[in-house]
Amino acid sequence: MSIATLTGAAVVDEVAARDPDRVSAGGSRTWSVCGRNFVVAITELTTGDRLTEHDLPDEYLLLVQDDALVGVEHAGQPRVTVAAPALVVIPAGTSTVSTAAPTTVVRVFTARCDEQMRRAVNHTAGADPRTAPLPEPTEHGSDRIRVHRLSDIPVQESRFGRIFRTASLMVNWFPAQDGPRDTERLTPHSHADFEQMSVTLAGDYVHHLRVPWTARMSQWRDDEHAEVGSPSMTLIPPTVIHTTRAVGPGLHTLIDVFAPPRADFLAQGWVLNSGDYQGGRP
């Protein structure tokens, strides 16, 4: 497990390379990293173990990457079984995730989930002041579990990845890429006031990172080219110019996390479940 957290002082600060922040009685291992507005947890989930979250104030996202028969239970609803790669939106309240075979799952929570934020390995680092705080949600999702199977979503060249949202979160789950990325078609860019968490689930990557020069030379930093395996989490702060490159043979899987939902992606019509959020409950 590789975890890299970016700060304003140093472009890349390795905060946890091997040890999980939690090991359950059933042997599951979890690594958590937070930004100002969200926390991402990667869990190597063992058979028979249960990931229970109590009284969450917000919806959260569960990403299932294989066919391990993952079960989701929530507040008296019928148990939902996920038997293929899928993104699952789980309502606020108490819920449990379990599996019939060992697998790795990703969960994304809002910063209003206090216990989940405290579990993050970097929770004491403090919020980046350039990041706008998480606003209260103006829209509401459903009270039911919603499963979005990736096999039901064809790849479209006109759409940027596979983007999903909750009232306060957004993720872009890119289609798997076979082999390395074309080095003549990279996309360096930056974000003025929000963080991006890049999560790798398969393959090897290099995050190319550049801190813009300001009038204060003491703030200048050398470029970084952070090599990560999978799974990994890399938190990219506001203003840092970045692009990510898959390297080496085989399949590569990358997910980007944001909070709140990005207005530019919504305006482009790229958000696959935007119909669930129209200012009220469907």
Is 4 contained in some domain?
A: no
Out of 150, 180, 206, a domain closes at: 150
Out of 129, 150, 171, a domain closes at: 150
Length of the chain: 282
CB under 8 A, 24+ apart: contacts of 70-75:
70/45, 70/97, 70/98, 70/99, 70/100, 70/103, 70/105, 71/97, 71/98, 71/99, 71/100, 72/96, 72/97, 72/145, 73/98, 74/145
Is 110 contained in some domain?
A: yes
**Range(s) of the domain holding residue 253:** 160-271
- Please tell me the total count of domains within the chain: 2
Asked if residue 136 and residue 31 are part of one domain, the reply reads: yes
- Judge whether residue 282 has pLDDT over 80: no
Q: Tens of pLDDT along 31-81?
A: 999 999 999 999 999 999 999 999 999 999 999 999 999 999 998 889 999
Per-residue pLDDT band for 131 (boundaries 50, 70, 90) equals very high
Out of 150, 172, 207, a domain closes at: 150
- Judge whether residue 250 has pLDDT over 50: yes
- Judge whether residue 152 has pLDDT over 50: yes
CB crowding 234-272: b at 16 or more within 10 Å, else e: bbbbbbbebebbbeeeeebbbbbbbbbbbeebeeeebbb
Q: Looking at the DSSP assignment, which residues form a beta bridge with residue 93? A: 56
Is 263 contained in some domain?
A: yes
What is the pTM assigned to this prediction? 0.93
Give the mean pLDDT of 159-179. 95
Asked if residue 243 and residue 129 are part of one domain, the reply reads: no
- Judge whether residue 218 has pLDDT over 80: yes
Asked if residue 264 and residue 143 are part of one domain, the reply reads: no
Residue 39: name the closest of 122, 126, 156, 105 by CA.
122
